[in-house]
Amino acid sequence: MIEYIPFIAVVAMVFIGLYAVMFRRNLIKIVIGITIIESGVNLFLITLGYREGGVAPIYTGLPPGTTYPEQMVLPVPQALTLTSIVIGVAVLALMLSLVMHIYRKYGTLDVRKIRRLKE
Amino acid sequence: MTLEEILIQHSPALVIAIPLLSAFLMPLISRINAKLRNVFAIAMLGLTGCFIWLLATDVLTSGPRVYIFGAKNLTIPVVRILFEVDSIGIFMAIITIMLAIIAVIYSWSFMNEQDGLDKYYTLLLLLVTSALGMEFTGDIFNFFVFLEISCIASCALIAFWVTEGEALEAAFKYIVVSAIGALFVLFAIGVLYAQYDALNIATLAQALQYTFLDKIVLILLLVVLGMKAGLAPMHMWLPDAYGRAPPSVTLIIISATLASFYGVLRVIFTLYGNVLTTSMRFDFPLHVIIGWVLIVLAIVSILIGVIMALIQSDFMRLIGYTAVAEVGYMFLAIGTTVAALGAPYATVALQGGILHLLNDAIDIGLLFLVAGAIYYVTKKRSLDDIGGLARTMKYTTVFFIVALLAVAGMPPLNGFTSKFLIYESVYQLNPILSIVAILCSILLLAIFIKVLYAAFLGPELPALKDVKEAPKSMLLAMGLFAGLAILIGLFPNLFIDTLVKPAADALLNHAQYITMVIGGI
Amino acid sequence: MFTLESGSGFWNPLIWILIVFIAFLLFYGIRGFGKNIHKKGTEQTKAFLSGNKESAPEDMHVKASNLYWGFTTSMKALYAGLRKMHTGNTSDYILWFVVVLAVLFIIFGVM
Amino acid sequence: MTEMTKIVKTIANILFPFTVLFGLYVIAHGHLTPGGGFQGGAVVASGCALLLVAYSSGWVFERIKEKRLATFESIGAIGFITVALLGLMFSMVFFGNFLAGSNLLFGTTPATGSTLANFNTGGVLPLMNFAVGVKVIAGLFVIVLVMAYASSVRGWDQ
C-alpha cells in the first residue's frame, strides 16, 4: 500500500491542478494550477525511477560497499524531470509576464472578463 | 567518403543545428545592421533548405536514415538520443522549410516598421528548429521537448504585437492550452517508460502490448496532439491565435500545428502500428475504433470550422476557422485510412490526406499573406471597414482569387487534387461522410466569395482612396505560394509520385521504421 | 504525369482546361451574335436604382457581416448554440479538452 | 519595488557573494555532483534576485543593462551549439565528446567505484555546463529584473 501513495498523490495533484484551471477565475490561480499539474507529473517521473535504498547514479564517489549499477536509482527519469523543470520555468515566466501585460490592458484578472476574442 | 556523402550523413543534425545557431547569433548580428539581419535569416534558412534537399534525395532513393547523437561508433542505438528520418518526416520538413523561407521573405517588408525585430527573428528560427525537430526525432521524449519549445516560441510570437490586448489574450489562451497538453504528453511518456523501459519510438513500437495503461497513453497522445493540431471541439485556441498573430508568424505556427498532426500520424501508424489490427474487443479491431473516433471528430471540425467562419467579420479570424475545417479534412482522410486499414482505398485516402497537408499549408498560408497585405496597407482588420481594394491592389486580388479557388477545392488548383482523392476514398467507406465533406467545401467557396466581394469588389471607399499596392517582397512571397498552388494543381502526379507515395508507404510500412533502429545493433 | 488515378476514378487537369477553353470559345462565339449597343460616356453606364439617386459609396457597399443575412437568420438556432459553445473563456477551452478525454476514455474503456 | 531597510541590505551584502559562489560551484561540478548549468545558474540568479529585493529594482536596473544580459544569454547558447559542432568536426558526430580520453582539458578517464571524484574529467560536459550556466544566469536574471522593473515603474492602475 505504502508504495502506491506517491501515485495517489500524482493523481490528486493533476486533478487539483485541473480543477484550479477549470473553475478558478483568477488568472494567477490558473497559472498556479498549471504549476501544480507540472509538479504532479514531475513527481510521477521521479517515483518511476525510485529504487529503495538506492544511491545517486554517479560512478565516482560511491559509498563504500555499494554494488553498481544494481543499487543506483534510475538516472533517466531524473534527467527527464530536470528537463521538464527547466521547461516549466520558461513556461511559468512567460505566463506570468503575459498575465502582467493582460492586467495592464484589461484592468482585471478575472478570466470571465478576459474574452474579447469569442465566437 | 566524398564530401557529399559526409554532408548527407550529418545533415539530420545540421538541419537542426543551423537554425538553432543562427537563432542565437541573431541578437548579435542585428546590432550591426537591420538589412544584414534579414539577409542572414533568409540565407540561413536557405542553407537549411539545401540540407533538407540533400537529405530528401538520399532518403527517397535509399530508405530511412538514422543519426545517433554523441556516439563515436554507432553501437547500442536504443539508449541514445537519435534522429530517424524517413519519407514522411522529410515531407513534413520540406513543408516546414518552405513556409519558413516564405515567411521570412514576407517579413522583410511586413515587419520593417516594428521594434524588437532581433527577438522576432530569434523566436522565428527557434520555432522552425522545434518544428523540424518534432518531425525528425526518433525519441519520444525529444518529441516532447521540441513540442514545448514550439509552444513557448509560438506563444511569444503570438504576443508580438504587445500593444494590442487581444494579442496578449490569444497568447495566454494558447500557452495555457499548450502547457497543459504538453504536461499530459509528458505523463503519457512516463507511463510508456515505466512499462517498457525505453523512450525510443522504434523500441516502444516493437514492445507495445496494448495493455490497459497503453490505452490511456493512446488516448492522451491522440487528444493532446489533436488539440495542438486544431481538432474540434478543442479548436478554440486556433482562431484566437491565428487571428491575432502577425501573419508572417502565423505561417510558421501553421508548420508547428502540422508537426503536431504529424505526431498523430506517428502515434497511430508507427507507435501503435503493431497492435492496430491484432487487438480485438467485441469483434472490433482497434483500428476501426480509432478510425471512427477520428472520423467523427473530423466531421465535427469541418462543420464547426465552416459554419463559424461564415459569420466572422475579422478577416484573419475567418481564415483561422477555415484552417480548422482544413484540419478536419486531413483527419477525415486519416480516419478513413485507419478505419479501413488494408482496403485498397485506405492507401488512396492516406495519400490524399498527406497531399492535403501540403495543400493546406500553401492555401491557408497564401490566405494569411493576403490578409496581412490588406492589414499592412489599410491597418484595418474587419472586413466591414474595407471594400473596393481590387482597384488599387491588382496583384493581391489575383493572388486572393487563386487562394480562394484553391482552398475551396475548385479545379484545376491544388486544393482539388487532394480533396478529390479524399472524397473518392471516403465515399467508399461511407457515402454520407463524403457528401458532408463536399457540401462543406461548397460552403468554403461561399465564405471566400463573401470576402472577395466585401474586400475587393464594390465601390471605392473614400477612406481607402490613397491605398497602395503591397511592397515587393510581400508580393514575391504571395507569388511563390500562388505559383506552387497552380503547379500542384496542374502536375499532381509529379508531387504524388515523388513525395506523397513514399510518405504514405513509410507510414503504412512501419516495420521498416522499427528494423532501421532495432536491426542496426 | 497529368492523370491522377484514385483507384475508382481519375482526374486530368489538361482535359479540364481543354473543356473550359472550348466552353469559353463557344461562349465567345455566341457573344458575337449579339448587337453592340453599348456606348461609353452616356447615361447607359450609370447605375439605375428605380430613379433614386445614387448614395455615397459607404452606404452602397454591402458590409461583410450583412452579406449572408438570409442564411444566418434561418440558421439562428444553430448559431445560438455555437455562440454559446465559443465562450472565449480560457477555462472552457480546458473543459472541452477534459470532456473529450473523458468521452474517449469511456469509448475505449467499453470497446 | 521600493528599497528595503539597512538591515536587509547589509544581510544581502553578506549573503550575495556566498550565493554566487555556491552557484558557480554547482555549475563547475556539474559533471561530478547532482546539479549542473541550470541548477547553478538558478542559484546565481536567485542571488541576483536577492539584490533586487534589498535594493530596489530601479537601483539594479540603472547599473545593469538589459541588453548586455541578453547578449550574454546569446553567447551562452552559441557556446553550447559551438561545442556540439566542434564535436561534429573532431569526432565526426554531432554532440560528439571529442575531449574525453584525450588527456587534454577535462580529458582524464575517471576510475569507477568508490573513488574520489576527479574534477579533470568529463570531456565536453563541463564546457557545456559553463555555456548553459552563462545562459541561465543571464536569462533568469533578465526575466526577474524586467518583471520587477515593469511592475514597479509604469504603475499598475492605468
> pLDDT digits over B225-277, tens only?
999 999 988 999 999 999 999 999 999 999 999 999 999 999 999 999 888 88
Name the band, by pLDDT with cuts 50, 70 and 90, for residue B78: low
Chains in touch with B (≥3 Cβ pairs < 8 A): A, C, D
* Chain-chain contact of B490 with C13 (C-beta, under 8 angstroms): yes
- Give the whole-angstrom CA distance, residue C87 versus residue C84: 6
Judged by a CB distance cut-off of 8 A, whether residue A9 touches chain C is no
- Give the whole-angstrom CA distance, residue B215 versus residue B398: 49
Q: Using alpha carbons only, how large is chain C's radius of gyration in Å?
A: 27
Question: Which pLDDT does position C12 carry in this prediction?
Answer: 86
Q: What are phi and psi of C99, to 5 degrees?
A: -65, -45
Give me chain B's average pLDDT, please: 89
β-bridge pairing B280-281 and B65-68: unpaired
Q: Do chains C and D touch (3 or more CB pairs under 8 A)?
A: no
Q: Model confidence over C56-93: pLDDT tens digits?
A: 777 777 777 788 888 889 989 999 999 888 888 899 99
In 3-state terms, what secondary structure has residue D93?
coil
Chain A residues with CB under 8 Å of B187 CB are 14, 41, 44
Residue A31: CB partners within 8 Å, gap ≥ 6? A92, A95, A96, A99
Mean pLDDT of B35-56: 92
Question: Which pLDDT does position B74 carry in this prediction?
Answer: 58
- Give the whole-angstrom CA distance, residue B256 versus residue B65: 23
Which residue type occupies B407? V
Least confident of B109-118, B289-298, B319-328, D127-136: B109-118
Question: Which pLDDT does position B80 carry in this prediction?
Answer: 77
Q: Largest Cα–Cα distance of chain A, in whole Å?
A: 67
Would the pLDDT of C37 be above 90? no
Which residue type occupies B47? L
Residue B280's H or E segment, with its range, is strand B280-281
Least confident of B100-109, B349-358, C58-67, D2-11: C58-67
Residue B364: other Cβ atoms inside 10 A: 27
Q: How many CB pairs under 8 A join B and D?
A: 50
Q: Model confidence over B326-346: pLDDT tens digits?
A: 999 999 999 999 998 888 889
Task: Please tell me which of the candidates C4, C67, C93 has its beta carbon nearest to residue B493.
Answer: C4
Question: Which pLDDT does position B466 carry in this prediction?
Answer: 81
- Give the whole-angstrom CA distance, residue B497 versus residue B483: 20
Mean pLDDT of D6-25: 92
Residue B314: CB partners within 8 Å, gap ≥ 6? B243, B381, B382, B383
Q: Model confidence over D119-137: pLDDT tens digits?
A: 787 788 889 999 999 999 9
Strand partners, C11: C4
Chain A residues with CB under 8 Å of C88 CB are 115-119
The percent of residues in chain D predicted with pLDDT above 70, rounded, is: 92
β-bridge pairing C4-5 and B284-285: unpaired
* Chain-chain contact of B72 with D85 (C-beta, under 8 angstroms): no
Q: Which residue of C has its CA nearest to B220?
A: C101
Question: Which pLDDT does position D66 carry in this prediction?
Answer: 79
* Chain-chain contact of A105 with B186 (C-beta, under 8 angstroms): no
Would the pLDDT of D155 be above 60? no
In 3-state terms, what secondary structure has residue D91?
helix
Instruction: State pTM to two decimals.
Output: 0.93
Question: Which pLDDT does position D125 carry in this prediction?
Answer: 87
The percent of residues in chain C predicted with pLDDT above 90, rounded, is: 32
CA distances (Å), origin B317, targets B195, B243, B398, C71:
43, 4, 21, 20
Would the pLDDT of C1 be above 70? no
Q: Model confidence over D82-127: pLDDT tens digits?
A: 988 888 888 778 888 888 777 777 777 777 666 677 778 778 888 9
Question: Which pLDDT does position C62 carry in this prediction?
Answer: 78
Mean pLDDT of B498-515: 88
Question: Which pLDDT does position B221 carry in this prediction?
Answer: 94
Q: What are phi and psi of C56, to 5 degrees?
A: -65, 155
- Give the whole-angstrom CA distance, residue B51 versus residue B22: 15
Which residue type occupies C47? A
Name the band, by pLDDT with cuts 50, 70 and 90, for residue C99: very high
Q: Is the peptide bond before B12 cis (omega within 30 degrees of 0)?
A: no
Alpha carbon dihedral B169, B170, B174, B176, in 10-degree steps, equals: 10
Q: Are B438 and B452 in contact (CB under 8 A)?
A: no
Least confident of B507-511, C13-17, D151-155: D151-155
Task: Please tell me which of the candidates C64, C71, C97 has its beta carbon nearest to residue B227.
Answer: C97
Q: Which residue of A has its CA nearest to C91?
A: A22
**Grid coordinates representing B105?**
521573405
Q: Are B521 and B206 in contact (CB under 8 A)?
A: no
Q: Model confidence over B405-458: pLDDT tens digits?
A: 999 988 888 889 999 999 999 999 999 999 999 999 999 999 999 999 888 888
Chain B residues with CB under 8 Å of D81 CB are 17, 20-21, 24
Mean pLDDT of B145-156: 93
Chain C residues with CB under 8 Å of A118 CB are 86-89
Would the pLDDT of B302 be above 90? yes
Q: Are B202 and B518 in contact (CB under 8 A)?
A: yes
Mean pLDDT of B171-195: 93
Least confident of B325-339, B389-403, C41-55, C56-70: C41-55
Q: Which residue has the cell 508504495?
A: A3
Question: Which pLDDT does position D158 carry in this prediction?
Answer: 41
- Give the whole-angstrom CA distance, residue B156 versus residue D147: 15
Residue B95: CB partners within 8 Å, gap ≥ 6? B255, B258, B357, B358, B361
Question: Which pLDDT does position A61 carry in this prediction?
Answer: 67
Question: Which pLDDT does position A115 carry in this prediction?
Answer: 86
CA dihedral sign, ordered A7, A11, A12, A16: positive
Question: Which pLDDT does position B521 carry in this prediction?
Answer: 46
Residue B62: other Cβ atoms inside 10 A: 9
β-bridge pairing B82-85 and B280-281: unpaired
Question: Which pLDDT does position B153 carry in this prediction?
Answer: 93
Would the pLDDT of B317 be above 80? yes
Question: Which pLDDT does position B509 carry in this prediction?
Answer: 87
Mean pLDDT of B66-90: 77
The percent of residues in chain B predicted with pLDDT above 90, rounded, is: 61
Mean pLDDT of B126-148: 92
Residues in chain D, overall count: 158
Question: Which pLDDT does position B73 carry in this prediction?
Answer: 61
Q: Which residue of D has its CA nearest to B18?
A: D81
Name the band, by pLDDT with cuts 50, 70 and 90, for residue B291: very high
User: How distant is the Cα of C50 from the closest Cα of chain A, in angstroms?
Assistant: 39
Q: Using alpha carbons only, how large is chain A's radius of gyration in Å?
A: 20
User: How distant is the Cα of A53 from the closest Cα of chain C, in angstroms?
Assistant: 37
Mean pLDDT of A71-96: 87
User: How distant is the Cα of C37 from the closest Cα of chain B, in angstroms?
Assistant: 25
**Grid coordinates representing C1?**
504525369
Q: Which residue has the cell 543545428?
A: B17
Q: What is the ipTM of this complex?
A: 0.92
Would the pLDDT of D11 be above 60? yes
Question: Which pLDDT does position B461 carry in this prediction?
Answer: 82
Question: Which pLDDT does position D156 carry in this prediction?
Answer: 47
Q: What angle do CA D94, D96, D102 make, to 5 degrees?
A: 155
- Give the whole-angstrom CA distance, residue A18 versus residue B186: 16
Question: Which pLDDT does position D114 carry in this prediction?
Answer: 65
* Chain-chain contact of B311 with C67 (C-beta, under 8 angstroms): no
Alpha carbon dihedral B451, B454, B455, B457, in 10-degree steps, equals: 110
Strand partners, B85: B65
Q: Which residue of B has its CA nearest to D82?
A: B21
Interface test with A, best of D29, D114, D144, D151 (most A CBs within 10 A): D114
What are the b/e assignments for A68-102, b being 16+ CB within 10 Å?
eeebbbbebbbebbbbbebbbbbbbbbbebbbbbb
Strand partners, B284: B281
Task: Please tell me which of the candidates B180, B190, B317 has its beta carbon nearest to residue A37.
Answer: B180
Question: Which pLDDT does position B75 carry in this prediction?
Answer: 59
The percent of residues in chain B predicted with pLDDT above 70, rounded, is: 98
Q: Are B135 and B158 in contact (CB under 8 A)?
A: no
In 3-state terms, what secondary structure has residue C13?
helix
User: How distant is the Cα of B445 from the closest Cα of chain A, in angstroms?
Assistant: 21
Judged by a CB distance cut-off of 8 A, whether residue D65 touches chain B is no
